């Protein structure tokens, strides 16, 4: 039972880290606030967000395969696959902003140029779409944990 509690803790910690850093991206990615320091910081924040996403995935796998219920119980439940699909969707959606943040930093370092406000707004919309999908994943999780979806 101790391993189950530790796996749950690690998974929740990874999720909270992911949420903090997607919120940080959303806060920093505003045309009226974007300056050279924010561009540099966005790349770092996005990197931690990606690491947190990897930790969420790995701790989720650990819970499925090392937890009390086991892979057979989870594998047949459509709610697990819904969670995975939402997680993958958020991951795919995060590629665009990551690429833009890196390009912004490259342009900034090359000639001091900041991105145009409309591009910043567009990237922020993508970040916000991710941020609005993420809370739906634990909603599926609480129903999954209570035996729904079998």
- With H, G, I as helix, E, B as strand and everything else as coil, classify residue 141: helix
In a domain, 150, yes or no: no
**Joined tokens for residue 107:** 């342009």
In a domain, 27, yes or no: yes
Average pLDDT over residues 83-91: 97
Look up the pTM and report it: 0.93
Number of domains in the chain: 1
In a domain, 39, yes or no: yes
Q: What is the largest CA-CA distance in the chain?
A: 57
Q: Could you tell me the residue range of the domain that residue 15 belongs to?
A: 2-145
- Separation between Cα atoms, residue 125 and residue 129, nearest integer Å: 6
| pLDDT per position as a tens digit, 88-106 | 999 999 999 999 999 999 9
In a domain, 87, yes or no: yes
Assign residue 21 the CATH number of its domain: 1.20.120
Angle at 80 between CA 8 and CA 97, to 5 degrees: 85
């Amino acid at each position: 039972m101790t391993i189950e509690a530790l796996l749950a803790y690690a998974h929740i910690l990874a999720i909270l880290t992911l949420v903090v850093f997607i919120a940080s991206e959303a806060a920093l990615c505003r045309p009226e606030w974007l300056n050279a320091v924010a561009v540099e910081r966005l790349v770092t924040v996005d990197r931690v967000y990606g690491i947190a996403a990897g930790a969420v995935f790995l701790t989720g796998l650990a819970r499925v395969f090392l937890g009390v219920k086991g892979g057979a119980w989870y594998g047949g439940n459509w709610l697990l696959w819904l969670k995975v699909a939402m997680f993958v969707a958020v991951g795919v959606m995060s590629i665009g902003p990551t690429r833009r943040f890196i390009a912004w930093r490259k342009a900034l370092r090359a000639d001091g140029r900041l991105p145009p406000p409309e591009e910043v707004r567009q990237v922020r919309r993508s970040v916000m779409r991710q941020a609005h999908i993420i809370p739906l994943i634990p909603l599926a999780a609480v129903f999954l944990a209570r035996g729904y979806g079998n």
